[in-house]
Amino acid sequence: MLYPRVSLYAMMLASAGIPLYIHLPQFASVNLGIGLAALGGILLAIRLFDLVQDPLIGWAIDRWPQMQLWFALAAAGGLAVGFPLLFSLSAGPLALPKLVLVLLLLFSAYSLGMILLYGRSATLARQSTPRALLTLAAFREAGMLSGVILAAIAPAVLAALGAAGQGYGAFGLVLGGLALFTAAATLRLWRRPAVTGQPLSVTALTRAGALRLLALAVLNSLPVALTSTLFLFFVEDRLQLPGHAGPLLVLFFLSAGLSVPLWTRLSQRIGAKQTLLIAMPLAIASFAGAAFLTPGSLIGFAVICAASGAALGADMVLLPAMFSIALTRAGLNASAAFGIWSFAGKLALALAAALALPLLEQQGFQPGAANSQQALRALSLSYAVLPCVLKTVAFAFALTLPSERATQ
């Protein structure tokens, strides 16, 4: 039951990652009356807080390995409190400061749980071999994708079942309950003896090849961050497919989840880098295809969701596993390194929101309203063209990684 517990904990954490960036713009603008530019600024400011917080969390986890159970419970507790608070907020003069405080709680709990889960790869894997670490990564990312699917569609499902306020209030309670259940069900997971390594240094990370992988992770996260932030807007306002966003999100993440075992098996045969170089052009083609879609193109966008979802599955399982393998081979403390990794990933999401949302507002885009061609063109450029360019840059960078043999 070791790996299923890993999947469960990952599923809980995933609800505070990409799904928040999917739902938050709509919730904040419609339910709280907060502008897109203001929300983008809030998210970027919180990432500046993470610049200090995430590496400190990683350092603390490595400094006190005997406390990993309490770190795990603290992360789950923060999510259990934060989710109901967030989605119970209402419009008013104090809506903005309340939102900031609740987001700080949620993202701090998310950081703590993610850094612990990824930094303890050598502890949670049955062995410290590259093959075992890739297997652990497959279970972990399958759980992540299950959580993303659950959180992405839950508001729509709850609203269809009669929940008020687009289902967001009930959504917060469901996620809070999931966090409490996960905390109880994964206690044994965190009682395993912690495997730790040597302290980090820039020189050690460079020699291990971890800094190059970190740079690639940031580049590679930006396209997904943009499309995640703008997904609902693109489906409902650009493609004019109201009511289809939920099923399309399910298709996207289900495709990612189903692809994980295939990418894992392929990487164990030909190596993680070679597998990544196969998956990345699939994402580039998907972004490019989205730029040419016309209103009502449901089937075309469904194909793009399936293809880009499969490409995301490779990103999720391969890059963290490659980073973990590099750290394990070098005998370095993984939690501190994944503290930096966590900040880098969230920085990409925040940069996407901070750049794209104010730009759309400047071009006159308003969610759910009748938008001009100029506003819709800006949405298409932000959702499809810019991610295509960024993913191409990431692919070119991936080509420069050292060659490797198939993982044993």
Q: Sketch the domain layout of the chain as residue ranges.
A: 2-398
pLDDT at 404 over 70: no
In tens, the pLDDT along 166-203 reads: 788 898 899 999 999 999 999 988 988 887 777 777 78
pTM, two decimal places: 0.76
pLDDT at 319 over 80: yes
- Least Cα distance to 278 among 292, 289, 262 occurs for 262
Which of 72-76, 321-325, 364-368, 404-408 is the most confident on average?
72-76
Residues of the chain with pLDDT > 70, as a percent, come to 98
Residues of the chain with pLDDT > 90, as a percent, come to 30
CATH number, span 2-398: 1.20.1250.20
CB 135 within 8 A of CB 128: no
- Amino acid present at 262: L
Mean pLDDT throughout 256-283?
90
Numbers of helices and strands, H then E, in the chain: 16, 0
Q: What share of the chain is helix, strand, coil (3-state, %, to 5)?
A: 80, 0, 20
- Amino acid present at 350: A
pLDDT at 133 over 70: yes
As a whole number of angstroms, the distance between CA 152 and CA 215 comes to 28
Structure confidence at residue 38 (pLDDT)? 84
Structure confidence at residue 18 (pLDDT)? 67
pLDDT classification of 301: cutoffs 50, 70, 90: very high
As a whole number of angstroms, the distance between CA 271 and CA 2 comes to 25
CA 197, distance to chain mean position in Å, is 27
As a whole number, the mean pLDDT across the chain is 86
- Least Cα distance to 367 among 223, 187, 213, 166 occurs for 166
Mean pLDDT throughout 138-162?
85
Torsion of CA 233, 253, 127, 131, to 10 degrees: -100
List, in order, residues 6 or more apart from 329 with CB less than 8 Å away.
Answer: 208
